Chain A
Amino acid sequence: MTAETLARWQFGITTVYHFLFVPLTIAMSMLVAILQTIWVRTGHEKYLKLTKFFGKLFLINFAMGVVTGIVQEFQFGMNWSEYSRFVGDIFGAPLALEALLAFFLESVFIGLWIFGWDRLPKKLHLATIWLAAIGTMLSAIFILAANSWMQNPVGSSFNPVTDRAEMVSLGAVLTNPVTLVTLPHVLLSAYMASGGFIMAVSGWHLAKLNSAAKAGKLTGKQTADLDAHRFATKFGAWVLLGASVGVIITGDIQGKIMTEVQPMKMAAAEALWETEDSCAGFSIFTIGSLDGTREVWSAPKVPCLLSFLATGSFDGKVEGMNQLAAEFADGRLINPDSQLQQEAQARLQQLGVADWVPNVAVTYWTFRIMMGLGFLAMAVAAFVLFTLRKGSLPRDTKAWTALMVAAPLMPLFAISFGWIFTEMGRQPFLVTGVLTTAAGVSPGVSAFEVGTTMVLYTLIYGALAVVEVGLLLKYIKIGLPEVVEPQVITDDDAPLTFAY
């Protein structure tokens, strides 16, 4: 394998792995902050228990997000140095601002929150988790602005003297239509994953406690726990359900913007080889030829749905991959409004584009798996809310446990597939219509170096995953902790209420 292929695999493995922890960090921090706020407002012990319980699970996950995130920041320079040099004037700023505005906020205030229960007054301590949660959100804004610029490079020009892309308007970069719609889509999907996580963990406990109650073996603490878990299960399910609606709406808008700025990605997502002038059908299942240039067999399509998804009109025209590839090769710009694509076109032609069509099988299926898992998660949330209606409780069956195990994984994997879709669908480009993936790789780095480090990352990440999942399961099983009202300690010799 070439260094380029290995570098792509390395980026894929480390980024997908990193992004398993990110959604729980972004949304769990906020949901824990909300739980703690309810406790501060009401003073009811059950909310403090839930805060501490989910706070602990959040922290186990947070540590992994932090350490795997460092790899991301270094990796651009290590594996994609020509990309970094070419785009640094635009792409570097959000990364630097992310560190300065978001990472400091997260890291410092998480530290204060973990260790500050007996050091800070109640309301000040509450403020620390809110600030940390805001930090995680800021981080998402900068990273998505950077990624959206790669999808649709606005606000920039090509300088032939320095031979790179340069910033023309920061405002245009930040108000990139792709950024504006991707941001709520990704943030809300994080709430799907976190809502699903809280719903599932508490839902599992709820069924256990319910069967103990029916057997008449419930202790006093367990009776209180049952009440708390009932609240948390519904809380998580509502978050999952509400966020799902938002994800669907923003996803729909994304599809229409994608048709305008990345028509090839949309065509590949549908495995649409030939242009359909109106009423294009939405394909559920299709098989392409081995060389990937034409369709062999397709299940009956949903009439006109693709036209509606792509253009908002049931008789809109949807362009196919064969026509698009021919026109792009002839010099048509992918996004006619992009100044950068216009100015860098000569350079792009000189370096050459091997194949304008992304991997259709990957693009087509990841798009469907993403949507399928997302809808499934939404249905589970609705089912859980139905089960818990009017004070009824779930029974402790194997099916219920299986559902609770699957529930948080559905949105989490939907997110992974969504990212694989959006990045694979952009191929063969790193920056759409400007810089190919092949041209962005580090020239001095050998396949041996990339391959060796990839294997080692995978081994380390695998080992950490085992420890991580073990810890999560252990703390999930322990359940809600006993809590005492936190007091600010003034005696220098008294034991801390919390320490590592």
Chain B
Amino acid sequence: MLPLELAFTTLQVVWFILIAVLWIGYLVLEGFDYGVAMLIPILGRNEKEKRVIVNTIGPVWDGNEVWLLTAGGATFAAFPAWYATLFSGLYLPLFLVLVGLIVRGVAFEYRAKHPETKWRNAFDLMASIGSFVVTLVFGVGFANFIIGLPVEALPKVTAEAQTSLFMLTPQPYFFQLFSWFGLLGGVCLVALFLFHGSLFLALKTKGEVHERAKAFSLKVGLVSIGLGAVFLVAQNLLHPTGLMGWLLLVLAALGLAAGWWFIRNDRDGLAFIGTAAAILFVAIGIFLTMWPGLGFRLPDQTFAAAGDGAVSGLNVVTAASTEGTLQIMTVAAVIFVPIVLAYQAWTYWVFRRRLSVDNIPDEEPVLAS
């Protein structure tokens, strides 16, 4: 919980919240396109159906991914020590994320330009497995942020320095991530994104693909609700954040239940809003446990103040950039985040129509030959 001694500034709080917002944007938006991509080989029975599935996310997936890049960049700019410790500490998991993002990213573009079945099947697998790996790693990762990643401070360079670089210990920190709680987090996020993605697919399609997406969402929705309940109860028992944590659990559960109930009654839009809200509340709950230690855990849990307001350890104060940098970044965020939201929302409006196999044109003649 929040130690009173920690003398954080308003802008440090603002940037912690903003980074949470960027992550939420990423999880809600790219969450469904990961789900949809995982479903290409599962729900697409023939080539045209697969193309329907790909085209529901075709115009938007790249913009969704930028939320992740912005979250990464914002962490670097606002909390350099957080970025440095996390990215070097979780070296191999992040490598897996990068490989996943690379193979899925090229797969959409390449499948459209390589009409041979053999190539297309390979690219579909790349899109599907890439999305699965990224989802799994982030699920395991966030569960471990809840537990807290153990760090130790490295020796200072000069005597006057108060803080220095922190390092996850032991290194490489990889197999330690896969506790039962970590693994549960990974499986939960895969189920959640499959649910979220199948609802998006149902919302954006008509005809047979729509029916199949709906049927799939009803099944995976139950799995997601069951796994999610276990995870969230465990989180609140093992790493409590008080009444707020339980409240967020109830809200997340309501979101998932609403998603299931509404799709069952053919209210696709409301169903999608249900899982989006569930992701929002789960993410808020996770970031609550990450305050103020940023998902790190020191051997002795020191957040204690050293008299003059200075603090030791790795946390929202010691990891932060200067107030000047945070001010500049705040001005940029206040101006540009709303603009980005506006034009991204407009994209969804432009491509709002449902697709069916009838909307998919035949291959270009030059390619078919």
Determine whether the beta carbon of A111 is less than 8 Å from that of B69.
no
Which among B74, B86, B329 is the interface contact of A77 at CB below 8 angstroms? Answer: B86
Q: Mark B327-369, 1 if CB is under 8 A from A, else 0.
A: 0110011001100100110010011011010111100101000
A361 interface contact, C-beta 8 A: no
A475 interface contact, C-beta 8 A: yes
Pick out which of these stretches binds chain A: B107-115, B208-216, B219-227, B246-254: B107-115
Residues on A with C-beta less than 8 A from B54 are 500
Determine whether the beta carbon of B87 is less than 8 Å from that of A77.
yes
Q: A70-B102, A96-B76, A499-B361 are in contact. Are A90 and B351 (CB under 8 A)?
A: no
A457–B322 CA distance with the chains assembled, in angstroms = 35
B299 interface contact, C-beta 8 A: no
Residues on B with C-beta less than 8 A from A167 are 321-322, 324-325, 328
Determine whether the beta carbon of B59 is less than 8 Å from that of A492.
no
Residues on B with C-beta less than 8 A from A111 are 58-60, 62-63, 347
Determine whether the beta carbon of B164 is less than 8 Å from that of A84.
no
Q: Mark B114-152, 1 if CB is under 8 A from A, else 0.
A: 100000000000000000000000000000000000000
Residues on B with C-beta less than 8 A from A329 are none
Residues on B with C-beta less than 8 A from A391 are none
A433 interface contact, C-beta 8 A: no
A446–B165 CA distance with the chains assembled, in angstroms = 16
A254–B67 CA distance with the chains assembled, in angstroms = 36
Q: A92-B73, A460-B99 are in contact. Are A500 and B83 (CB under 8 A)?
A: no
Determine whether the beta carbon of B358 is less than 8 Å from that of A493.
yes
Residues on B with C-beta less than 8 A from A92 are 73, 76-78, 80, 83, 321, 325
Q: A70-B69, A96-B74 are in contact. Are A89 and B325 (CB under 8 A)?
A: yes
A353 interface contact, C-beta 8 A: no
Determine whether the beta carbon of A163 is less than 8 Å from that of B113.
no
A336 interface contact, C-beta 8 A: no
A60 interface contact, C-beta 8 A: yes
A112–B343 CA distance with the chains assembled, in angstroms = 10
Size range of the chain A interface in the assembly: 35 or more
Determine whether the beta carbon of A161 is less than 8 Å from that of B172.
no
Which among B114, B165, B360 is the interface contact of A499 at CB below 8 angstroms? Answer: B360
A497 interface contact, C-beta 8 A: yes
Residues on A with C-beta less than 8 A from B163 are 162-163
Determine whether the beta carbon of A108 is less than 8 Å from that of B347.
yes
Q: Mark A16-33, 1 if CB is under 8 A from B, else 0.
A: 000000000000000000
Residues on B with C-beta less than 8 A from A497 are 361
Q: Mark A85-109, 1 if CB is under 8 A from B, else 0.
A: 1011111110111111101100111
Residues on A with C-beta less than 8 A from B325 are 89-90, 92-93, 166-167
Q: Mark A110-137, 1 if CB is under 8 A from B, else 0.
A: 1110111001100000000000000000
A478 interface contact, C-beta 8 A: yes
Residues on B with C-beta less than 8 A from A119 are 350-351
Q: Identify the closest chain A residue to B95 (Cβ).
A: A453
A81 interface contact, C-beta 8 A: yes
Residues on B with C-beta less than 8 A from A87 are 80
Residues on B with C-beta less than 8 A from A160 are 158, 160-161
A166–B102 CA distance with the chains assembled, in angstroms = 34
Query: How far, in Å, is B76 (CB) from chain A's closest CB?
Result: 4
Determine whether the beta carbon of B336 is less than 8 Å from that of A88.
no
A399 interface contact, C-beta 8 A: no
Q: Identify the closest chain A residue to B168 (Cβ).
A: A444
Could you tell me how many residues of chain B have their Cβ less than 8 Å away from some Cβ of chain A? 87
Give the residues from 403 to 434 in chain A that come closer than 8 angstroms, CB to CB, to chain B: none
Residues on A with C-beta less than 8 A from B172 are 445-446, 449
Determine whether the beta carbon of A73 is less than 8 Å from that of B69.
yes
Determine whether the beta carbon of A84 is less than 8 Å from that of B109.
no
Determine whether the beta carbon of B69 is less than 8 Å from that of A81.
no
- Residues of A contacting B: mostly: helix
Residues on A with C-beta less than 8 A from B336 are 100-101
Query: How far, in Å, is B68 (CB) from chain A's closest CB?
Result: 8
Determine whether the beta carbon of A81 is less than 8 Å from that of B87.
yes
Determine whether the beta carbon of A475 is less than 8 Å from that of B337.
no
Determine whether the beta carbon of A74 is less than 8 Å from that of B72.
yes
Query: How far, in Å, is B135 (CB) from chain A's closest CB?
Result: 16
Determine whether the beta carbon of B80 is less than 8 Å from that of A68.
no
Query: How far, in Å, is B262 (CB) from chain A's closest CB?
Result: 23
Residues on A with C-beta less than 8 A from B113 are 56, 60, 471, 474-475
Determine whether the beta carbon of B77 is less than 8 Å from that of A95.
yes
Residues on B with C-beta less than 8 A from A499 are 51, 55, 58, 359-361
Residues on B with C-beta less than 8 A from A96 are 70, 73-74, 76-78, 329, 332
Determine whether the beta carbon of A67 is less than 8 Å from that of B101.
yes
Determine whether the beta carbon of A103 is less than 8 Å from that of B76.
no
B98 interface contact, C-beta 8 A: yes
Determine whether the beta carbon of A68 is less than 8 Å from that of B102.
yes
Q: Which of B85, B113, B328 has the most CB of A within 10 A?
A: B113
Determine whether the beta carbon of A170 is less than 8 Å from that of B158.
no
Q: Identify the closest chain B residue to A95 (Cβ).
A: B73
Determine whether the beta carbon of A115 is less than 8 Å from that of B70.
no
A56–B367 CA distance with the chains assembled, in angstroms = 13
A494–B87 CA distance with the chains assembled, in angstroms = 48
Residues on A with C-beta less than 8 A from B103 are 460
Residues on A with C-beta less than 8 A from B356 are 493
Determine whether the beta carbon of B171 is less than 8 Å from that of A108.
no
Q: Chain A residues in contact with chain B, CB under 8 A? A: 56, 59-60, 63-64, 66-68, 70-71, 73-74, 76-79, 81-82, 84-85, 87-93, 95-101, 103-104, 107-112, 114-116, 119-120, 160-164, 166-168, 170, 346-347, 350-351, 442-446, 449, 453, 456, 460, 464, 467, 471, 474-475, 478, 481, 492-500
Q: Chain B residues in contact with chain A, CB under 8 A? A: 51, 54-55, 58-60, 62-63, 65-66, 69-70, 72-74, 76-81, 83-89, 91-92, 94-95, 97-99, 101-103, 105-106, 108-114, 154, 156-158, 160-165, 167-169, 171-172, 321-322, 324-325, 328-329, 332-333, 336-337, 340, 343-344, 347, 350-351, 353-354, 356, 358-361, 364, 366
Q: List, sorted by A's number, 16 A–B pairs whose CB atoms are closer than 8 Å.
A: A70-B101, A78-B94, A85-B81, A93-B328, A95-B77, A101-B332, A107-B62, A161-B161, A163-B162, A170-B328, A443-B88, A444-B167, A446-B171, A453-B91, A481-B366, A499-B58
